[in-house]
Amino acid sequence: MSIKLLVLVFSLLIIFTRPKLIADHHLYPRISPFYPSIPPFLPPSPSLRAQSPAVKPSLPFVPALFVLGDSSVDCGTNNFLGTLARADRLPYGRDFDTHQPTGRFCNGRIPVDFLGLPFVPSYLGQTGTVEDMFQGVNYASAGAGIILSSGSELGQRVSFAMQVEQFVDTFQQMILSIGERVAERLVSNSVFYISIGVNDYIHFYIRNISNVQNLYTPWNFNQFLATNMRQELKTLYNVKVRRMVVMGLPPIGCAPYYLWKYRSQNGECVEEVNSMIMESNFVMRYTVDKLNRELPGASIIYCDVFQSAMDILRNHQLYGFNETTDACCGLGRYKGWLPCISPEMACSDASGHLWWDQFHPTDAVNAILADNVWNSRHVDMCFPTNLETMLHHST
């Protein structure tokens, strides 16, 4: 059987077989947001490339973590959807705590898993109990974008606007359960981690969907995305969200897929793609800065993933990586031609790789990114400050 036919058959099986119901939140410790005896927020686990600090500072109370975004932070939403964007089969998850796939697009943990809070369930994977909402919820969906139609060729996904609506619904359920005042206090003290936007390039602008490149210059397209992001962040603010972490876009011009697609020589990043991403990050950082000035009581930080990832790429040997271009799992040059669909396609040890598959980093990279978000351990990537400092100042 040819490889193209094999991929086609596999893709059809993904779409039309019954989704595997993985309620991965049963595997992790539960925590009540009102238990003073349990440390409510801890620094990230030390990265695979760093030493943990000798003294851990006292930290403010953070009752819950809410996550919105795309495959960079999807913990299982797409397990319940008819889509090509699924990570509920090995080798995904092989290096995770349970060594089983959970829906995370990684060999192990995604960045939010290193932030020290209990792993929160996906919105579609909740058991329906009140406790699910109190520790936080992950609404992220692989393939989703800021634009409603981004990623439509992949199948079902939950757009960013719909994820915000899902949180508003969660907030209303909290009010009914514990009362408005307590619900507002819980939400305003929680952390909202937002990682969205890359699919608006991968699956929309770069593919020139709806002739978008002739309608918008990259700069105008970035402004359009920022305007829509601004509206959604204000919607969250209007339902008492105050502490937000907005992640910038990664250097996808260095991802194995684009190295393969643009026939990169010697693994050089595709500057045409990266220049758009850098411009988008510039506009988004300005948008966040403006919102901080406009919204009383808001504490929003913007984290430049591009800057942090490029530091890892340029100094990969210092970080302990020996493979910067080839994905651990895939087929073709740079392992960027075909996605990771079989354990036989994966390398034996992902710890030395920057890239897990066509677009996603390994958990070793995710650990470093989480360190930088938390306390700028390696690179000052968050503005106006890192998450640890923001939590202290917003108490």
Q: Which of 47-51, 69-73, 337-341 has the lowest mean pLDDT?
A: 47-51
Pairing between β-strand 299-303 and β-strand 382-383 as defined by DSSP bridges = antiparallel
Nearest CA to 247 out of 395, 50, 387 is that of: 387
Nearest CA to 270 out of 213, 206, 226 is that of: 206
User: Cα–Cα–Cα angle for 336, 340, 343, nearest 5°?
Assistant: 130
What are the tokens at 247?
């992640």
Nearest CA to 322 out of 285, 282, 364, 293 is that of: 364
- CATH code for the domain defined by 63-393: 3.40.50.1110
How many whole angstroms separate alpha carbon 219 and alpha carbon 211?
A: 16
Out of 95, 113, 132, 357, the active site residue is 357
Beta-carbon contacts of residue 157 (< 8 Å; ≥ 6 apart): 78, 81, 83, 85, 141, 142, 143, 144, 151
Question: Using one digit for the tens of pLDDT, what is the confidence trace for 170-227?
Answer: 999 999 999 999 999 999 999 999 999 999 999 999 999 999 999 999 999 999 999 9
Q: In this predicted structure, what is the pLDDT of residue 131? A: 73
Out of 24, 25, 71, 132, the active site residue is 71
Domain ranges of the chain: 63-393
Long-range pairs of 337-346 with CB within 8 A, sequence gap ≥ 24: 337/260, 338/3, 338/7, 340/91, 340/92, 341/7, 341/10, 341/89, 342/91, 343/90, 343/91, 343/94, 345/91, 346/91, 346/94, 346/107
Question: Using one digit for the tens of pLDDT, what is the confidence trace for 91-139?
Answer: 999 999 999 999 999 999 999 999 988 899 999 998 777 777 899 999 9
357 is catalytic: yes
Q: In this predicted structure, what is the pLDDT of residue 395? A: 67
200 is catalytic: no
> What are the DSSP E strand ranges found in the chain?
65-69, 136-138, 191-195, 243-247, 299-303, 382-383
Out of 25, 203, 353, 360, the active site residue is 360
How many whole angstroms separate alpha carbon 237 and alpha carbon 330?
A: 41
Q: Is 0.75 surpassed by the pTM of this model?
A: yes
User: Cα–Cα–Cα angle for 249, 250, 255, nearest 5°?
Assistant: 140
How many whole angstroms separate alpha carbon 38 and alpha carbon 41?
A: 9
326 is catalytic: no
